[in-house]
Chain A
Amino acid sequence: MPDVTKTVPEAAAEDAAVAAAGGTLPEPKPEKTRSLWGDAWQDLRRSWIFIVSAGLILLLLTITFFPGWFTGADPTHGDLAKHFLQKPKMGKFFDPDWLGYDQQGRSVYARVIYGARASIAVGFGTTMAVTLVGGLVGMIAGYFGGLVDSILSRLTDVFFGIPFLLGTMVVLNSFQDRTTWVVIGALSFFGWTQIARVMRGAVITTKQADYVHAAQALGASTPRILFRHILPNTLAPVIVVATISLGVYISAEATLSYLGLGLNGVSWGNDISDGGNQIRVAQWIMLYPSIMLIITVLAFIMLGEAVRNALDPKMR
């Protein structure tokens, strides 16, 4: 079937690119061979969404790894006598007083800075886990098909059938000591299904490509076909879904904290939950961690959006 998505200028530009590669023109500028990834990178560099989100994420990573660069205050040190519910002092940038104090006299600014670590760790940890597990399950189901696919697909359906938040709540409720690893485990336990479905679909499509048949005919081993021929062509949709879900997991971690089932320790979710109780007397306790949380989630979702646009020419 002909490509119905092309508009005239695109087709013309394409012809033009082909023509330029021929080198028969007066001043043929040798154009680099353009791959999907090369094209995507060219696109990304021009996308304001990408530039903004990448900048924000770099800043967040810096805060996560070097919180000491941003504040000298201890986020767990509370001084009830001096700082109880002290209001923000707007002019005092980067000072412990800057964003006020909570009901235990702890610096909100310090807690906002140190809270980044929990969100980033849960976000990246869960995303890596679900991409590995879901990717593997989806690849096996898609490549082998038949009974293997039926069993794995039904298993995916079973985990997908349980509402994500409910499932993680049940698991986390059984743990008294909810470390980062426990939260990552609970989120991953129910989160892998989406990647598995995306991967399965992509593998099934790629499997039918002629070059895969050619590799099979030449007697390439199954792992070689899977990892050398199929995997590279399924990465695009998986990367898009993984990037967006990174933001979603950060949001889920905060929601679990709000429900009293999140990480023990300094985290934005816990602070927002605490601040919610003080909302009529001291809005700032909830406001600043909320802003940080929203910006963080937004940054990753924007990044995913930009990557999707770059990798999927149909979206342009």
Chain B
Amino acid sequence: MTIIEEVSVPSPRDGDGGPLLEVRDLHVEFHTREGVVKAVNGVNYSVAAGETLAVLGESGSGKSVTAQAIMGILDMPPAKIPQGEIRFRGEDMLRMSGEDRRKIRGRRIAMIFQDALSSLNPVLSVGYQLGEMFRVHHGMSKKDAKAKAIELMDRVKIPAAAARVNDYPHQFSGGMRQRIMIAMALALEPELIIADEPTTALDVTVQAQVMDLLADLQREYNMGLILITHDLGVVADVADKIAVMYAGRIVETAPVHELYKRPAHPYTRGLLDSIPRLDQKGQELYAIKGLPPNLLRIPTGCAFNPRCPKAQDICRTDIPPLLPVTEQDGAELPGRASACHFWKETLHG
């Protein structure tokens, strides 16, 4: 196997003192009865303040596990982080004490989960759950915290916030519940928000509203945002750059529009080709053949090789490193990288 230092995709806006968050060569594995599940196998990415990184992948690609590792909410055991760094403002959070990490959670890095109904405590009022952020992190009184909760609910455009602050999560609609999740994440104006499939559980019309709200608030507070999704449609409007994950690795990164125009990895191409389009009405929809890999037995070489239409012998033996890609004439393509032995053929072919 070739040993090449993989690139961490630099952020164009990294100016003062580097990126907000930088994940370096992160590995996560789960020790289960069936064996060791290698969920994340050397992920590198970074996010700057005010920037949105979309992490794209099928379920089991390791995108959520990476996010949970950043948040520090993995159950360990069974999870284990054998190597890697997660630098927040330059400091490696994996080397911090539990108490120091707890103080970052919620206050400086917050997370929005997919299913707001199950992610909110069913027996505590939303006002209590929102106010708890202020009470725990700022030592605010119960009364002040409730006033803050109402303010937050107003901010995420929940109608009649003052009247509904004592209601319970099940009394809200799906979209309103997700707004409450967002309000909770925003409560302490964190520097980074990780949104794990924030709109997947919602109706299509509500999805757009919630996504817009999130994007607006992000701009307002100049927060970094990591948006985890499997939905290419959601990504296009809000993300600055995209990282595509497969079998616990990043296989391609690119600024969002370039990725859509010219993918540099066969997997990304397959994903794009499987989006239904109006002009293809009546034709059979493309689908990537085969199934996502068994994480207990990841294929040797490139993990995508059994499903890849371009696979050659080298793909079955050597793992392709994530390397910058260039134009045919050698001109740089800033922010672009691919982990494919045949990226040239894919990008230019």
Q: Please determine if A and B sit in direct contact within the complex, based on CB atoms under 8 angstroms apart.
A: yes
Contact surface of A with B, Cβ cutoff 8 Å: 1-2, 4, 7-13, 15-20, 22, 24-27
- Going nearest first, the 4 A-B pairs with the smallest beta carbon separation are A9-B30, A24-B290, A15-B60, A22-B291
B117 on interface, CB distance cutoff 8 Å: yes
> What band does the interface of chain B fall in when counting residues whose beta carbon is under 8 Å from A?
20 to 34
Known contacts: A11-B59, A12-B39. The answer to whether A22 contacts B290 by CB under 8 A is yes
Q: Which residue of A lies closest to B74 (CB)?
A: A8
0/1 string, B82-107, CB within 8 A of A gives 1:
00000000000000000000000000
Q: Are A25 and B306 in contact (CB under 8 A)?
A: yes
- Is A13 touching B32 in the complex (CB atoms < 8 A)? yes
Q: Which residues of A contact B74 (CB under 8 A)?
A: 8
B207 / chain A contacts, CB cutoff of 8 Å: none
Docked Cα-Cα span, A27 to B39, in Å, equals 19
**Nearest-CB distance from A246 to chain B (Å)?**
29
**Which A residue's beta carbon lies closest to that of B200?**
A2
Question: Does B7 touch A at the CB level, under 8 Å?
Answer: no
Question: Which residues of the partner chain A approach B326 to less than 8 Å between Cβ atoms?
Answer: none
The interface residues of chain A lying within 8 Å CB-to-CB of B307 are: 24
Binding site secondary structure of chain B: loop
Q: Which of B59-87 contact A (CB under 8 A)?
A: 59-60, 64-65, 68, 74-75, 78-79
**Scoring B residues 296 to 312 as 1 if CB is less than 8 Å from chain A, else 0, what string do you get?**
11011000001100000
Q: Look across to chain B and name the residue whose beta carbon is closest to the beta carbon of A22.
A: B291
Bound complex: CA A25 to CA B290 (Å): 9
Contact between A24 and B118 (Cβ–Cβ < 8 Å)? Answer: no
In whole angstroms, how far apart are the Cα atoms of A27 and B293 in the complex?
12
B37 within 8 A of A: yes
Partner of B68, one of A8, A17, A25: A8
Please tell me which one of the listed residues A2, A4, A13, A24 contacts residue B291 in the complex, with CB atoms under 8 A apart.
Answer: A24
Cross-chain contact A19 with B201 (CB below 8 angstroms): no
Residues in A whose Cβ lies below 8 Å from that of B79:
8-9
- Beyond A11-B59, A12-B39, A12-B60, whether A19 also contacts B306 by CB under 8 A is no
Q: How far, in angstroms, from A1 to B37 measured CA to CA in the complex?
A: 26
Are B65 and A19 within 8 A (Cβ)? no
A9 and B78 contacting across the interface, CB-CB below 8 Å: yes
CA–CA, A67 to B311, complex, Å? 70
A168 to B295, CA, bound (A): 57
Contacts of A2 in B (CB 8 A): 114-115, 118, 201
5 cross-chain CB contacts under 8 A: A1-B117, A13-B296, A20-B296, A22-B290, A24-B290
Type the 1/0 row for B9-41, where 1 means its CB is closer than 8 Å to any CB of A.
000000000000000000000101010010100
Q: Do residues B115 and A19 form an inter-chain contact, with CB atoms below 8 A?
A: no
Chain A contact residues: over half helix, strand or loop, or mixed? helix
Interface string of B47-60 (1 = CB under 8 A from A): 00000000000011
A172 to chain B minimum Cβ distance, whole angstroms, is 46
Known contacts A1-B117, A4-B118, A25-B306; A16 and B64 CB within 8 A of each other: no
Most buried by A among B114, B296, B300: B296
Assess whether A12 is in contact with B290, with CB atoms less than 8 Å apart.
Answer: no
- Residue B141 at the chain A interface, CB threshold 8 Å: no
Please give the distance in Å from A25's CB to the nearest CB on chain B: 6
Apart from A12-B60, A16-B34, A25-B293, list 16 A-B contacts with CB within 8 A.
A1-B118, A7-B75, A8-B64, A8-B68, A9-B39, A10-B32, A11-B60, A12-B30, A16-B37, A19-B293, A24-B290, A24-B307, A25-B294, A25-B297, A25-B299, A26-B300
Q: Which residue of A lies closest to B34 (CB)?
A: A13
Query: Which residues does chain B contribute within 8 Å of A9, judged by CB atoms?
Result: 30, 32, 37, 39, 78-79
Q: Counting CB contacts under 8 A, is B42 at the interface?
A: no
CB-CB under 8 A for A19 and B117, given A12-B37, A13-B34, A26-B300:
no
> B294's contact among A4, A10, A19, by CB below 8 Å, is which?
A19
Q: Is B292 an interface residue (CB 8 A)?
A: yes
What is the CB-to-nearest-CB distance from A29 to chain B, in angstroms, rounded to a whole number? 8
Closest to B58 in A: A15
Q: Which partner residue on chain A sits nearest B295 by CB separation?
A: A16
| A12: B residues at CB distance < 8 A | 30, 32, 37, 39, 60, 65, 295
A10 CB → nearest B CB, Å: 8
Closest to B293 in A: A19
Bound-state CA distance A18–B58 (Å) is 14
CB distance from B79 to the nearest CB of A (A): 7
Question: Which residue of chain A is the closest to B307 with respect to CB atoms?
Answer: A24
| Residues of B267-307 contacting chain A, CB below 8 A | 289-297, 299-300, 306-307
Bound Cα distance A10, B32 (Å): 8
Distance, CA A25 to CA B117, complexed state (A): 37
B34 contact set on A, CB distance < 8 A: 13, 16
Contacts of B201 in A (CB 8 A): 2
Q: In this complex, what residue of A is CB-closest to B117?
A: A1
CB distance from B31 to the nearest CB of A (A): 8
Whether the Cβ atoms of B118 and A15 lie closer than 8 Å is no
Q: Please measure, in the bound complex, the distance between the C-alpha atom of A11 and the C-alpha atom of B75, giving whole angstroms.
A: 14
Are A20 and B30 also in contact (CB < 8 A) when A2-B118, A12-B39, A13-B37 are? no
A41 CB, min distance to chain B CBs, angstroms: 15
Instruction: For A4, give the chain B residue with the smallest CB separation.
Output: B118
Output the least CB separation between A203 and chain B (Å): 27
Residues of B within 8 A of A19 (CB): 60, 291-295
The answer to whether B294 touches A16, judged by C-beta atoms less than 8 angstroms apart, is yes
